[in-house]
Amino acid sequence: MVENLFSMNSKGWDIDLDEKTRNDAYYTQVFNHFSVLSGMTVDYYGADSGEHEFKIEGIVFKVLEDPEDGYRSHLGAIEFGEQSKGIFFSKPIAKVRIETYDSECVDSTFTPTSNKGYRFVDAKDRHVWLEFGTDNYDDYYPYFVFRHTPKVAD
């Protein structure tokens, strides 16, 4: 089973469940559904960066931030449902493989960073369409990321 990278502590969409039921049942169900897709190649309909939403296999998922304090945040939870405000293509624009990533690197300012999350990688040319998770600046400043990168026309 894929490691659960979500904190499950985020307050998300308007949903009619109390917090305990929501954390125990709903988030677990959604995470289990999403984790089954990890490693698979699926139809990708695009992402809406403003709403932190993406659509795969005809299902819209919303990625939620879990704020720790005013300066730090993490990948909170993932939800799916009918209440999407996102804008997506009506037909798939790519076949993507859902991959997890856990990397440490040195950025352009030679600062060590640690990154964990998910990537949607194009099955044909390895283009990264979407990346979301938690980046960590200098082991002090974790922050939520949701990066949608459309392909540039040739």
* 130 or 12, higher pLDDT: 130
Q: How confident is residue 120, by pLDDT bands cut at 50, 70 and 90?
A: very high
Q: Report the pLDDT value the prediction gives residue 141, as an integer from 0 to 100.
A: 74
pLDDT value of position 13: 43
Mean pLDDT computed over 50-71: 82
Residue type, 99: E
- How large is the greatest C-alpha to C-alpha distance in the chain, in angstroms? 50
CB 146 within 8 A of CB 73: no
Taking residues 66-70, report their average pLDDT: 63
Question: What is the pLDDT at residue 144?
Answer: 82
Q: Which of 3-12, 37-46, 93-102 has the least mean pLDDT? A: 3-12
**What integer pLDDT is reported at residue 26 of this predicted model?**
67
DSSP 150: P
Rounded to two decimals, the pTM is 0.76
pLDDT of residue 35: 77
Distances 19 to 11, 12, 106 between C-alpha atoms, Å: 9, 11, 39
Domain boundaries, the chain: 19-148
Q: What whole-number distance in Å separates Cα of residue 10 and Cα of residue 49? A: 18
| pLDDT (average), residues 65-94 | 78
User: At residue 58, does pLDDT exceed 70?
Assistant: yes
pLDDT value of position 110? 47
pLDDT higher than 60, residue 16: no
